[in-house]
Amino acid sequence: MAAPDPGKEASTEFLREQFRRYYRSRRPTLPDRFGRREFGFMFWTAGIVQRHVGFSKEDDLRGFLTSRVPAHAYYSSAYYETPDAKTMEEKGWLGADLVFDLDADHIPTAKEMSYPEMLEAVRQKIIRLYDDFLKADFGFDERSMRLVFSGGRGYHIHVVDERVWSLGSHERREIVDWITGKGLDVDAAFRESAFDSKEFRGHVRVKKRLVAPAADEGGWRGKIFRGMVQLAGTLETLPAEEAIAFLASFEGVKPTDAADLHANLFKPRATRPRVIRGIDRLREGQLEALSDRNRDLLIRIVRDLQQVRLDVYHGVALEGITQRGETDEPVTSDIKRLIRMPSTLHGKTGLEVVPLTRTRIEDFRPLRDAVPKAWTDEPVRVRLKNKINSEMRDETFNVAPGVNEVPQFLAIFLAARGLATVEPEA
């Protein structure tokens, strides 16, 4: 049996006492239909979990938090007849909120990012999910959506609209499929339209053309067209040889075909009264500005890019080109999920799980705004194995390995993340 580590024990006791002080200093933020929720908790010893807990009064929940002092606190997305029943069958499922979870797992390059960079990348993605899908496509309004910073590596959205409560896992999976573009038929975004007809010897010949969606059209049709226009705009910013090389990087695209598409998009066709190029006509929704061959190639590349789960592809940023959204698919389809409780603390960061509005998330920065006010500037002695460069509460810290004194709020963050241990008192 391994001998106890005094540094780790001191750190755990330090964190537990700071968490207790936090919970004594404020009232918890109660979820809607609080008495119908199951609660679950993880504690400071690995593997110690308690769930199937229900509360009928706010004071009971607050008393639990201050006496038991969990490292992590959760509540169910589901509503139950008997939330504290010990089996799911006995609970009596009544419905569930629709929950979306985004964290660093959805950032392909997260391992190359600093913690603040990673959080910023996820913040941008959760705003897009909120605006472009939940609000624009599904019509949920701000009153029925709760944005939450998870306290760790990401954000959640809780949809509490009663229209979603009865949805089963299959229906929730269909919502996920829409957001992620699973099975998306890009070609269907462009419709054929007759524009001319001729009759000869009793036979009518109808000429057709592909019509682009309007740039402001809802759903995937509008998204696909906006992605196409953004792709053309991105190519416009690149040197010609780089743009052509990018187009030719797709399977089956010859360099000559890529060069022809580039010329079709950017070679001026007229200069008076204004310069007119294919891209200018495309932005106006006129697909016929491109030859059929180039139009089909551009659509094909846009189609291929919708399935790319990277932010950069062959050196080209895909922001605005790929229109698919991101969400943790198992979380959204689970009708009995436990999700972090707002206004509690995250045991691996010491940061607050912060409820947000759509307006507030614009300027929200976790290492400034999710640091609890209860954490002080009081110096705490910590031991670091490695050098730390960090920014919290708009202060920059460069801390060398070894024993150092740092503000309490930074000590909590470093100890919770396992980057430092609190020095035991002599």
Q: Which amino acid is at 235?
A: L
**Do the beta carbons of residue 129 and residue 137 sit within 8 Å?**
no
State yes or no: is 103 an active-site residue.
yes
State yes or no: is 328 an active-site residue.
yes
How far is the CA of 162 from the CAs of 98, 134, 145, 156, in angstroms?
A: 10, 15, 11, 18
Residue 162: count of CB within 10 angstroms of its CB: 9
Q: Per the omega criterion (within 30 degrees of 0), is the bond before 372 cis?
A: no
Select which of 32, 59, 60, 101 is catalytic: 101
Q: Say whether 251 sits in a helix, a strand or coil.
A: coil
Write the Ramachandran bin of 402: left for phi over 0, alpha for psi from -120 to 50, otherwise beta.
left
Residue 353: count of CB within 10 angstroms of its CB: 24
- What is the separation of C-alpha 290 from the centre of its chain, rounded to a whole number of angstroms? 36
**How far is Cα 326 from Cα 307, in angstroms, rounded to an integer?**
12
Select which of 196, 257, 328, 369 is catalytic: 328
**How far is Cα 53 from Cα 56, in angstroms, rounded to an integer?**
10
Select which of 5, 59, 84, 103 is catalytic: 103
Q: Say whether 108 sits in a helix, a strand or coil.
A: coil
- Catalytic positions: 101, 103, 328
